[in-house]
Amino acid sequence: MVSPMHLENLKIFVDLVENESFSKSGRLNGITQSAVSQQLRKIERDLNALILDRSQKSFRLTREGQLLYEAAKRILHHYEKFHCELQELQKIISGTIRLATIYSIGLHELPPFIKFFLQQFPAVNVRVEYRRSNLVYEDILTNSVDLGLVAFPQNMRQIEALPFREDELTLICSPEHALARRKQIRVPELEDRKFIAFDPDIPTRKAIDAIFREHKLKIEPVMEFDNIETVKRAVEINAGIAIVPRATVAPEVKQGTLKSINLNGGKYLRPLSILHRKGRALTPAIRKFIEVLQRDSPPAKKTSKKE
């Protein structure tokens, strides 16, 4: 049987290959870049073979290295599967769940689900990283995280996308804006108005651009930002209007710092998804977390009358 130390070495090597980076492999395994190099040399000594082609400027495995990589992936997969099945048999719900999420989901959709999950399974630690959408996919593919949360999920061969929620897009403006008293607005009426948008590579921005194309509108944003919080602040100071997910502005609408106006002519939904790498063994804790996320809403914790 492979010892835990050997398994650790194989994981470091697989992370090195999939990230093509000594420093990132080190970060993923809690060791230094120098320690990754030492582990690589130790593997080469043990095998009496070179596994990394050092004559190339770019990262490239030798034929022996490629053979080891494929074997190491199979070994690690079988060990992870065994470990998950053992936890299932022993009814153990513990460990760490590494989660990457875009800002809008992490700040506005996720918190009540995490709170409920940790109330039910206090032995589990959930680590959340806020990332741009493209980096969430990268983190999943390189095994940097266990799960990802994104909007408008892409269809990728190596990634499984599970439904999470659907949010509706809404128009927002400042209470001082000329549109502030409107309950609803037709999309064509947005022409020639100052518009604040997300950066062009953000999936929600692409969906909004598709709505404008559908109505044959050509709108040039006066400002572009990479996150929902900055978009909201710009709208609050009356720098322009914006189309955003409704759930992300609920607190400001309630406080009266923003006005929300329904888009007439169609219900424009924003699908949210849970991502994980296909074929990966999921621990009982990860599976339970997915179950909680896929509830219609996080159930409130029952409290006694004394509380």
Domain spans of the chain, in order of start: 4-89, 95-165+272-293, 168-270
User: Across residues 119-130, what is the average pLDDT?
Assistant: 94
The pLDDT value given to residue 298: 58
- Tokens 């800002």 locate to 103
56-109 pLDDT, tens digit per residue, is 778 889 998 899 888 888 888 788 877 777 777 777 788 899 999 999 999 999
Q: Which residue has the higher pLDDT, 39 or 275?
A: 275
Question: What class, spelled out in words, does domain 4-89 have in CATH?
Answer: mainly alpha
Neighbours of 20 (CB within 10 A): 12
Q: At what angle do helices 4-19 and 33-47 cross, to 10 degrees?
A: 110
Strand partners, 167: 270
66: closest CA among 143, 21, 14? Answer: 14
293: closest CA among 122, 176, 149, 143? Answer: 149
User: Across residues 283-296, what is the average pLDDT?
Assistant: 91
Global pTM?
0.75
192-230 pLDDT, tens digit per residue, is 999 999 999 999 999 999 999 999 998 999 999 999 999
CA separation for the pair 259, 181 (Å, rounded): 8
Where residue 188 falls among pLDDT bands split at 50, 70, 90?
very high
Is there a common fold for 95-165+272-293 and 168-270? yes
221-239 pLDDT, tens digit per residue, is 999 999 999 999 999 999 9
- Asked whether residue 163 carries a pLDDT value surpassing 90, the answer given is yes
17-49 pLDDT, tens digit per residue, is 888 888 888 888 888 888 888 888 888 888 888
Burial profile 73-87: b = 16 or more Cβ within 10 angstroms, e = fewer: bebbeebbeeebeeb
Where residue 52 falls among pLDDT bands split at 50, 70, 90?
confident
What homologous superfamily does CATH list for 168-270?
Periplasmic binding protein-like II (3.40.190.10)
The pLDDT value given to residue 156: 92
The pLDDT value given to residue 304: 39
- Asked whether residue 294 carries a pLDDT value surpassing 80, the answer given is yes
Where residue 302 falls among pLDDT bands split at 50, 70, 90?
very low
Structurally, at CATH architecture level, domain 95-165+272-293 sits in 3-Layer(aba) Sandwich (3.40)
Where residue 297 falls among pLDDT bands split at 50, 70, 90?
low
235-265 pLDDT, tens digit per residue, is 999 999 999 999 999 999 999 999 999 998 7
Strand 259-264 to 184-186 pairing: parallel
How far from 203 is each of 102, 207, 217, 248, CA to CA, in Å?
11, 6, 19, 16
Where residue 300 falls among pLDDT bands split at 50, 70, 90?
low
- Asked whether residue 1 carries a pLDDT value surpassing 50, the answer given is no
